[in-house]
Structure 1
Amino acid sequence: MNEEELINITGIIEKTNNQNIIQTLNEFKNTIESLNTQDGNNKFVKKCLNIIYNDVLSKIDELSNMEESRGTSIKLAFELQKIKKVTEMLPYINKKPKNTIFNEEEYMNIPNIEIIKLDQSDKIKQQLNNFYQKISLGHAYVSSGKQHQCQAMQCVVKNLKALYYMSNQEEANLAATQVITNPTLEHVLQLWRIIDESKIVKAGFKLQLEKVKLKKIIYIPRLFNQITLDYLHNFNTCSTDIPNNLLYQLAFRSIRLKQNENDIRVRVMCNKQIFKHKINNQDILQVVRRLTNSEFQVQKTQHIQQLQQPLTFFGASCVASRTDIREMGLNKVSNIIIHIHGGGFISQSSFSHQSYTRKWANKLDNAAVFSIDYRLAPEFPFPQALDDCWQYYMWIVHFGSAYFNICPKNIILMGDSAGGNLALGIIIRAIEINQRIPDKIILQYPALNLNLQDVVPSNLKSMNDSIIPMGLLMLCRQSYIKDESVIANDYYLSPIQTPQKIIEQFPKDFVIFVGSEDVLLDNSVEFVHYCKNNGLESIKLKVFESLPHGFQNMDIKYNGVMAANSANTQILDQVKQFTI
């Protein structure tokens, strides 16, 4: 920051009596002056400080001159919190290598990166503002009623407050601003999980979804060596250590019903019937032999004799009609979409992402969509979500064709945000233990770097981001990485650290989609350059102008963002290009 800008900060300090402003800006100014004496990444620091100077400082100056009120105090606290967070980040920003790649013209102007304009930026901004109003209502609703211990009273207050906030958007915005100034994990979980846990919200969301011919939930067993902290890198290259006979028993079962707490929940969607009416034990037997590299024979115990009878996939209600029976056994589906949802590792589900996964199921020919519900942090920290996804992937690869009329010739792995991080974890694991690698990969705004000390300029966009406000990234990271002995730049957590020998084996058909206003944009730009320079020259990055993080979920029928619909259409077109 130049001398004139420092003088402006001093001017704001000198004309106010507000001790919070004085203390916060003095600490900010002292940090800048200290960095000015150091040899660091001045280019990075300047880019970040320009955001503060052009946006935050002017608001603080304006608010400090206004008559004190509840609204002014809330808004001022929010702006000062931004300064405090940036003050904490600046030393890490300054330590970034001077050759660090980020969203700047010299790094964006390569054939691997495409900028896509969906509409006029002011139109998209207005669409987003309308959508964010609903997010503010959600924050306000969730934060109300907490002063009451009685749950019944909390419910009454919430509903009354909801009516009030719906008729007074300004108050809703103030309530939202107050809570996201210092968000708590409890609040974030209540808001982000509301679509899965609130019957009313869930019912409203269902009304907006496309109808799809086939949508079923299955529960798959854990059959493969688990990914744990102890065996994150010291792993066995065998895919499973389960004894042959037990593996057969575990694999040959109905997957329509949850049989134990360790089963993994998966949502299956397709535009035609793909379930097999009867499961042939010989199909399972062949897979077990292949996995164990043995000539395993089924032991004639009473249990196995019972299992060898044709297994009904659904039980008594496997087939709903004769029409379904006629469709069984038709040409096998050869394109398998393996989808992993986002939600900061702490929330959301396959259900909450159906606004676009159902469209995939309806509009993709010869394709089936499998979407997992992995375990969430903080209840289940790293690497338990990754292990769920690994078990799910391996089951589809090895056992999927025994239960479904599918032939996984072409596996397309897809994941958004946290799901993108987990998708890369699957690929890395498959490469390291010599398993089937997905044929294509499409990621949407993936979380590529969980080391929050490794700050890039786009991260500061979280200061004004209604989806990922400042402080939320830290909450997600702390919830997911419980064991501090796990280094955040481990490549299973931060794929941007993946070794070259692994990147060289990534699928050649690899596309990342991200918005230009995404807080994770710079990580995607850096990752694409990193992959390109380490043997994956075919990787592509497609940047949608004016869209923020999480835009896919903004494509809903009522009060949605039209630009998000356009972006999702282009993502679907990319999936179609990848199908065979």
Structure 2
Amino acid sequence: MAINPVVRAALKALSYPDISIKKHYKLQRRLVDVTNLHLLKPLYTSFDHLIQVGDHQIPARIYTPELPGSEGALLFFHGGGWVTGNIDSYDRVCTDLARKTHRLVMSVDYRLAPEHRFPAALEDCYAAAREVFLHPEWVFAERAEDIALIGDSAGGNLAAAVSLMAKDRGEFMPTRQILIYPATYNDHTENSPFPSVRENGSDYLLTSKRVQEYMELYQGSEEDLQNPYFAPLLAEDLSGQPETLLITAQYDPLRDEGEEYGRRLAKAGVRVEAHRATDGLHGFFSLPASFEQVAECHRLIDRFLKEGLA
């Protein structure tokens, strides 16, 4: 289904001017904080927690469902290009996730670039996952197998990278991951092998130029570009990765690389369920739960967690 021409024109106008994130990332952070300010907090039970790792602490926020039970938990990594976003800006997303899936959600406030470049955010997410998977009772789960990783955009990248790192380090291993329009590749210029970078890279709010700048702020060195923990699609061996629910968006520059990651996982013998949100734009999962695309995501996530993949 094509986007209404009036809506398309409005999206194109909103995509310009495409200010330089590299120059104005602090302004972008403030805009994210303001646009996600909730004057009326949704009704939920939550509490903040600090995870001590070495010489620093990783803040996390735990959301409990309205009817808590023993169905398991979700470890959530937020989006924002590794540069913006925090547990406050994702309050509503995580509240809705806990409410709609009837599971506890722990949201991780990892360190942001460029003050903390790769692999700082990933190491924070891995450390949080390690603590939760080795101590599932912290999130009121009976078993580590009852905990799933989930992330959107940059958070989807981090979730995938945590799973890769977990397999390599051998301390724990997630059994399920939910990747929502994840960034999985290292090139979003005109040279990208993925058509969606060009097809959806200028007129749908998130531009390919902005994605490229986010990645440049995140990377610590040129060598990072070839690191599978930075760009999971570069991993040579994807066998043994968790069962994966992959959700992409039709009008997203990251669409094709996300779907290719799903195909690569499946080719390696991993169970994968892939869904593309028709007419979806990058970031739609942050909309209120009443939006049909978001509601459908919640249904897919709930079913995936309850039934797994056949």
> Is the TM-score greater than 0.5?
yes
Instruction: For 1:372 and 1:359, locate their aligned partners in 2 and report how far apart those are by CA, in whole Å.
Output: 16
Structure 1 position 192, deviation (Å): 4.0
Instruction: For 1:492 and 1:579, locate their aligned partners in 2 and report how far apart those are by CA, in whole Å.
Output: 25
**Aligned with 1:506 (options 231, 241, 250):** 241
Partner of 1:570: 296
Partner of 2:43: 211
Partner of 1:55: none
The question of whether the paired residues in 2 share the 8 Å contact of 1:410 and 1:438 is answered with no
Structure 1 position 202, deviation (Å): 5.3
Partner of 2:285: 552
CA distances 1:470-518 after superposition (whole Å, capped 9, x unpaired): 42122111111132233x1321111112222xx22012x3111111111
Partner of 2:211: 473
**Aligned with 1:515 (options 242, 246, 249):** 249
Partner of 1:338: 75
Structure 1 position 435, deviation (Å): 2.7
Specify the code of the residue in structure 1 equivalent to 2:43: K
Partner of 1:494: 231
Instruction: For 2:133 and 2:241, locate their aligned partners in 1 and report how far apart those are by CA, in whole Å.
Output: 17
Aligned residue pair count: 302
Instruction: For 1:420 and 1:360, locate their aligned partners in 2 and report how far apart those are by CA, in whole Å.
Output: 15
Whether 2:65 is the aligned partner of 1:271: answer: yes
Structure 1 position 543, deviation (Å): 0.8
Specify the code of the residue in structure 2 equivalent to 1:270: T
Structure 1 position 399, deviation (Å): 3.2
- Normalized per residue, the structure richer in helix is 1
Say which one has the larger Rg: 1
CA 1:128–1:193: 2 relative to 1, 3 Å:
farther
Q: Which sections of structure 1, spanning at least 5 residues, go unmatched?
A: 1-119, 137-175, 224-260, 275-331
Partner of 1:484: 222
Instruction: For 1:404 and 1:551, locate their aligned partners in 2 and report how far apart those are by CA, in whole Å.
Output: 27
Within 5 Å, give how 1:148-547 maps onto structure 2: 177=16, 179-180=17-18, 183-196=20-33, 198=34, 201=35, 203=37, 205-207=38-40, 210-212=42-44, 214-222=45-53, 262-271=56-65, 333-365=70-102, 367-401=103-137, 403=138, 405-408=140-143, 409-452=145-188, 453-460=191-198, 461-466=200-205, 468-486=206-224, 488-500=225-237, 503-507=238-242, 509-536=243-270, 538-547=271-280
TM-score calculated relative to the size of structure 2: 0.87
Percent identity of equivalent pairs: 21
Specify the code of the residue in structure 1 equivalent to 2:86: S
CA distances 1:513-559 after superposition (whole Å, capped 9, x unpaired): 111111011112322222222222x3122111221211112x238xx
The question of whether the paired residues in 1 share the 8 Å contact of 2:78 and 2:86 is answered with yes
CA distances 1:77-107 after superposition (whole Å, capped 9, x unpaired): xxxxxxxxxxxxxxxxxxxxxxxxxxxxxxx
Specify the code of the residue in structure 2 equivalent to 1:268: I
Q: Which sections of structure 2, spanning at least 5 residues, go unmatched?
A: none
The question of whether the paired residues in 2 share the 8 Å contact of 1:451 and 1:494 is answered with no
Instruction: For 2:182 and 2:30, locate their aligned partners in 1 and report how far apart those are by CA, in whole Å.
Output: 20
CA distances 1:304-353 after superposition (whole Å, capped 9, x unpaired): xxxxxxxxxxxxxxxxxxxxxxxxxxxx6341101111111110112222
Specify the code of the residue in structure 1 equivalent to 2:48: I
CA distances 1:285-316 after superposition (whole Å, capped 9, x unpaired): xxxxxxxxxxxxxxxxxxxxxxxxxxxxxxxx
CA distances 1:404-428 after superposition (whole Å, capped 9, x unpaired): 5432341111111111111011111
Specify the code of the residue in structure 1 equivalent to 2:152: D
**SS at 2:108's partner residue?**
strand
Instruction: For 2:7 and 2:141, locate their aligned partners in 1 and report how far apart those are by CA, in whole Å.
Output: 40
Instruction: For 1:336 and 1:271, locate their aligned partners in 2 and report how far apart those are by CA, in whole Å.
Output: 10
Task: Provide the alpha-carbon RMSD of the alignment.
Answer: 2.7
CA 1:343–1:434: 2 relative to 1, 3 Å:
same
